[in-house]
Structures are given as structure tokens and as C-alpha cells.
Chains A and B, each alone.
Chain A
């Protein structure tokens, strides 16, 4: 059964710092991995989607990498801003539970706080 773990559970950094959020998954047979942002009490906003054949994706100050063989992904945020404060979730779509059905399996998220 696929399990997704995110470390750390919470992170507090001063504004302007570069930071890395980690995501690991137990079964490397995945279709893709998606990073989301969730503000308190709100839904999920898709940030980046990495296909299983890709190593990384970039969008603005965000860069996500994928190492499928080791079951790891990182989300790099450059020059963090207070507006980046939110919970960041990673999710994988795998061949077994998620496979043909296309469901996502989520980690519990990393709660990021960027202090001015």
C-alpha cells in the first residue's frame, strides 16, 4: 500500500530565505506527483505536476524535483515571502490504488510560516 510522508510537519523561516520541503513515498511505481498549496480553511491549489518520466518542474520561485527510484520529491521555494505561508501537500498517483482510477494519495503536509 502506497504511503506518502512529508517532513518536516511544520517549518518557520524568516522572509527571504530559501527553503526545501520533502516528500517521500513507499512505492516507486507512480504515474506522477503533484504539489499543492492549502491556505487555512480553503481548498487545494495545484502548484506543480511532475510526470514519472520527468526529473523536475519549475514555476516562478518554485522548483520541484522527483527521484522516483528513491521515492523522493522536494519542493524548493526561493526567496520566501510572508504570502507563501500555507500548508504544502504532496500527492502521488500510483499504479495500484491510484492506477487506472487516477486517485491521488496524499501526505499530511508541511505547514510553512514565513515571518516578515
Chain B
């Protein structure tokens, strides 16, 4: 296990269809994050998990978006009824939060899933 893995790397879908992305974090990492990045912008936070618990969701995460991390390992991000505005790079990151908290831990990112809604 050498890093964060995301699948698929690219996804083209028609407007209105549902899509699901997968993220496999670094194996010992208990925190997992989803970010969205549009062209020319920095990544923006969507949601994060500590183990299997989803602890925070950004206001960017509309009710068409749902994320899960059922066993505290891999995570899925589903977008229902996709819209053209959902076209973006979806990035997953993981980190390790120890007893002293997550404050000083390094975040590692995957290669991202590029979504194009046509």
C-alpha cells in the first residue's frame, strides 16, 4: 500500500445519471476527506470521516451528494441526478489522527477522479 487510490480516474456521464466514486486511503489512516476542485481553483472541502463516522459536511455537499465509509476503510462518494455544474476533479485524502488529535498530521491525496457531465 503505497498511497491513496481512487477509482475511476475519469468518468463521463450524461446529465441526470448517478455516479459513484471510490477511494482507498492509506491503510493505517483513520481520517478520510473528500475535496472538489474546478479548473483554476484550489481544492474545496466536501466532507470527512473519522473511521466510519462522517463528522462534517460542507455546505457545498448538496443533498444529491452522499458519502459513506462503511467499515472505516474505503469510502464511496455518490452523486445523484448529476448536473453540468458537478463537472470537476474529485479528490480524496487521508491522514492519521492520533491521541493528540489531528492537528499536526500530514494529508496525502489520491490522483483524483475527473468527472465530466455532458
Residues of A within 8 A of B (CB): 4, 31-32, 34, 36, 41-46, 49, 51, 89, 91, 93, 100-109
Residues of B within 8 A of A (CB): 4, 6, 31, 33, 35, 40-45, 48, 55-56, 89, 91, 93, 95, 97, 101-112, 114
Q: Give the Cβ gap from A1 to chain B, nearest Cβ, in Å.
A: 12
B43 adjacent to A102 (CB under 8 Å):
no
Q: Give the Cβ gap from A61 to chain B, nearest Cβ, in Å.
A: 20
A102 adjacent to B103 (CB under 8 Å):
yes
A-B interface contact total, Cβ < 8 Å: 69
B109 adjacent to A41 (CB under 8 Å):
no
Please name all residues of chain B whose beta carbon is closer than 8 Å to the beta carbon of A32 when the two chains form the complex: 103-104
Q: Give the Cβ gap from B58 to chain A, nearest Cβ, in Å.
A: 8
Please name all residues of chain B whose beta carbon is closer than 8 Å to the beta carbon of A103 when the two chains form the complex: 33, 45, 48, 56
Cross-chain pairs A/B with CB under 8 angstroms, 13 sampled: A34-B107, A41-B114, A43-B6, A44-B93, A44-B109, A46-B107, A51-B104, A91-B43, A104-B35, A104-B43, A104-B93, A108-B40, A109-B42
> Which of chain A's residues has its CB closest to B43's CB?
A106
Please name all residues of chain A whose beta carbon is closer than 8 Å to the beta carbon of B111 when the two chains form the complex: 42-43
Please name all residues of chain A whose beta carbon is closer than 8 Å to the beta carbon of B89 when the two chains form the complex: 41
- Assuming A51-B104, A102-B97, is B109 touching A45 (CB within 8 A)? yes
A101 adjacent to B106 (CB under 8 Å):
no
A34 adjacent to B109 (CB under 8 Å):
no
